[in-house]
Structure 1
Amino acid sequence: MAESVEQWWARRQWSKGEETPYPIGRYRTDWERYPMLIRQYHPDLNHGIVLSQVPPAAEVYLLWECDAGHRFVATPEEQRSRPGGTRRRSAWCPACAEGAAPRRIRMPQQDDGMHVCGHARDPRRIEHDPGDDRCFLCRRLDGERLTREELVTLAAPGSRVAVSAENGTARTHSWQCDRGHPVYEASIERILSGRRCPVCRHAAAGADAVAVGDAFVSRWAPTPASAAEPALKQRIAERLDVDLGNNAVRVARPFFSHLEVWPDIVIPELRIAIEYDTTGRHGLEHVGRREATDRKKDRLLRAAGWEVVRIRCGKLQPIGPWDLTAGGVSAVLVDRILERLGEIRGELIVGAYRR
């Protein structure tokens, strides 16, 4: 159970029998991956305890202050998992995050085919309470529990609906298309409008044309995040006679709403993907939940018969068996990458592609 920083520190002093149970710098390596948290932590607000003295897994309430001056209490685990799916600096501060994404205001509509909230009426929906004028989607977005029959009416035609109920009240629910792809709750409006499964729709534009484990050119692949990735690709092209024109690899299970992943560099001849990772301008990239996403991406690639080499820059630590740490793109880094490729696939095979 989490406790205040004063109580936590006093308890650790007693259990270890030392005035300073954790010396300064003990956990510096763990916290270096979160530069924004280092900015928000102030020892004078936390009983004089330095952040590098706090274990990342400690159940202790710490006081943080963001760049805007908002102060809030959170445990180390809550802070390390706070970035979520956003890139804003405000994602590290709950007060700033709430102000950056205010709640949507529902405006009344006069159209007879619309609810007062603006969502279209659907004849498949079952009337529930005449005294409640909210539509099903509003009730769902408001977090209310729906009955089993109401949930079934929300499913798109032809989809499979899984509902677990207790005393007639639904506890959990999920949708799957005919091919077994999960339809996430974020796509509920697509379901209500009867559109296709997003995974199937995206796969039809490219991934369905290739087999699992094959590399191809995808229209969905994002542009490089910085100039470092193209520079590294150019240096590798000068050393290896391989096709670096592909930007995607077909995987067996969905990666969010796609049956493909997009490594920074794809080497189909060796079935090796190379990723170039930095924390980005605001220190939010490849940390916290984004690191968990990187791990999931690597697992999908390995399940498809590929290996992954991540170039971890700055304070990022390796997360895979073949990862390398570096300060930037250089000739020395390319030499290290080629050595790593030889370790993975064998020097003779890699040597056959050397220029």
Structure 2
Amino acid sequence: MTKKILNSPAACPSQMLDGFLAAHGGTCERVPGVSGLRVRQVRDKVALVIGGGSGHEPMFTFFVGDGLADAAAAGNVFASPDPNTIVQTARAVDAGKGVLFVYGNYSGDNLNFDIAAEMLEEMGVPTRTVRVWDDVASAPAQRIKDRRGIAGDLFVIKIAGAATAAGLSLDEAWRVAAKARDGVFSIGVGLAGAAIPGESEPIFTLPEGEIEFGLGIHGEPGIRRMPLPGADELTDLLVDTLFAETGVSAGDRVCTCVNGLGSTTLMELYIMNRRLRQRLDCAGVEIHDMQVGSYVTSQEMAGASISLLRLDGELAGYFDRPCSSPHYRR
């Protein structure tokens, strides 16, 4: 069994939130009765509510703060929050101007957030939803709505948070967030699987010296297995896939993210970012911002992903607005 520091698997999400609030309770608090986190001061604006399974920290729960999400609903490890948790979390920050949901495109999340949205609408709370589907390896472009959400969540939540903080209406905040979602593309690679707390085996295994190209953040199979190349060659494979998918070329402006999946070191991520910069500069692509770190993780999974967000003037303006949470700020 993989060694983990915990008391019991079932208690992990709740005890994690307790520990988080012990350190950062000045700005956030628990949503009473459910596994949710909210800002202490409700703003007079559209509420941005995010959420998903625990185990991807700091995503989603630790992206609650100024200029980011107003609240986050947390499920069990790699499992969607239930509809009641989502409803109570949303009601805790509803200021009468509606609720914008942003979350990754997974069947359990889709079902439970849709049920919660229907319940809120019946209570007189208008809602809009943006499902993030940035993982280009998970479905072809013709079936883009079947794609998974991975590290592109970072950019969509950042821009959605800025849009709601700017005082946009629910429909306008939805439009901006959806525009960001439609401009972000990601692909990842796994080197070793993680273990869900309480499980004796990792969620996937690989032969010695092989990697999974295009895997998902829950260990979903990728495009192919292949020998582990050097860092530059691996980065080139990821970048070439994104270039082919997005059509990003000379004169375009992008934000990038090299995201670690849990156990990948910053040394490795910055080595990849070095090559990413070289490739973008060589292609004549303008780099607006580069993010490097572990933002959407999968427990102790080894691996990384690269995300590209194509910007226009509107999205750049919202991306550049300040934000602050304990694990992410600009």
**Larger RCO: 1 or 2 (CA < 8 Å, sep 6+):** 2
- Bigger Rg, structure 1 or 2: 1
> Given the two structures, how large is their TM-score scaled by the length of structure 1?
0.24
> Relative to total residues, which structure has the larger strand share, 1 or 2?
2
> Given the two structures, how large is their TM-score scaled by the length of structure 2?
0.25
